[in-house]
Chain A
Amino acid sequence: MASEKLFGLHATALQLRSQRMMMLASNIANAATPNYKARDLDFSKALELAQDGGSTDAAIQYRVPVQSSLDGNTVEMATEQTAFAENALAYRSSLAFLQGRIGTLTRALKGE
């Protein structure tokens, strides 16, 4: 893929960060649903799978709760919020890397 050479790892990373954000949002949305099992993306495994051109479904895992609740729900707000914040920050850093790459290329094209 052409964009692969242009942006390297970061284009894939950004897509996966977005996918993980959706999954964490799903967990937060289902914080009060009985029997809901929280899921998360194993990011490094997903990145490996995505770079080999495969599906990232194998990197989706169920969360092991620190303390299980009686209604069978395994969403723990502290865990989910921390993961969401960390993921948002990583998304921003991927964006910053891409921004830098685009800046470099633009300067090269303009010949300044």
Chain B
Amino acid sequence: MANLSIFDISGRAMSAQLVRLNTTASNLANAGTVAGSEAGAYRSMKPVFRTVMDGAGRATVAVDQVVTSKMAPSKRHDPDNPLADADGNVWEAAVDSAAELVEMVETSRQYQNNVQVLDTAKGLINETLRLGQ
């Protein structure tokens, strides 16, 4: 791989964190939705990050894959629900809202850290360009 610049390192990390924020948003949006079958119920999604190595201690991050949670949707007896099956059961989306909110805050903090790194690096590069003037 070609040499990574500091803009590649932090920029790609920001894209990865954005994927994470998008999956969290999808999970939260689908929290509380019900389905007529266990297979049709929504299951929360999570991205898996992977390090992309470069020489001399440099590394950035990429989204390896987005996996579906193994948490099972919970069955609820609700015969009045129009989506209920023959036995009167519906399945609620397998989303842990509290965990998703924590995930959202953490993602946002790490995104901010990368922005801060970029900002500092940009400032230093600008100062270096003005060297000798």
Q: B57 contacts which chain A residues (CB < 8 A)? A: 19, 22-23, 26, 39, 41, 60
Which residues of chain B from 111 to 132 have any CB-CB distance to chain A below 8 Å in the complex?
Answer: 113-114, 117, 120-121, 124, 127-128, 131-132
How close is A31's CB to chain B, nearest CB, in angstroms? 5
Query: Does any Cβ of A come within 8 Å of B75's Cβ?
Result: no
A-contact bits for B54-81, CB 8 A (1 contact / 0 none) = 0011111100000000000000000000
How close is B1's CB to chain A, nearest CB, in angstroms? 13
Which listed residue, B17, B59, B106, B131, touches A26 by the CB 8 Å rule?
Answer: B59
- Count B-side interface residues using an 8 Å CB cutoff: 31
Q: Is the CB of A30 within 8 A of B132?
A: no
Q: Is the CB of A21 within 8 A of B124?
A: yes
Q: Is the CB of A32 within 8 A of B10?
A: no
C-alpha gap A30/B52 in the complex (Å): 9
A-contact bits for B4-30, CB 8 A (1 contact / 0 none) = 101001101100010010000000000
Query: Does any Cβ of B come within 8 Å of A64's Cβ?
Result: no
Q: Is the CB of A21 within 8 A of B121?
A: yes
How close is A37's CB to chain B, nearest CB, in angstroms? 9
C-alpha gap A66/B6 in the complex (Å): 26
Query: Does any Cβ of B come within 8 Å of A34's Cβ?
Result: yes
C-alpha gap A99/B108 in the complex (Å): 38
Query: Does any Cβ of B come within 8 Å of A57's Cβ?
Result: yes
Q: A41 contacts which chain B residues (CB < 8 A)? A: 57
Q: Is the CB of B113 within 8 A of A81?
A: yes
Which residues of chain A from 51 to 80 have any CB-CB distance to chain B below 8 Å in the complex?
Answer: 56-57, 60, 77
C-alpha gap A31/B9 in the complex (Å): 12
By a beta-carbon cutoff of 8 Å, the part of chain B in contact with chain A is 4, 6, 9-10, 12-13, 17, 20, 48-51, 56-61, 106-107, 110, 113-114, 117, 120-121, 124, 127-128, 131-132
By a beta-carbon cutoff of 8 Å, the part of chain A in contact with chain B is 14, 19, 21-26, 28-36, 39, 41, 56-57, 60, 77, 81, 84, 88, 91-92, 95, 98-99, 102, 106
11 contacts between A and B (CB under 8 A): A21-B6, A22-B4, A25-B10, A26-B59, A28-B13, A29-B13, A32-B61, A33-B49, A33-B51, A84-B117, A106-B132
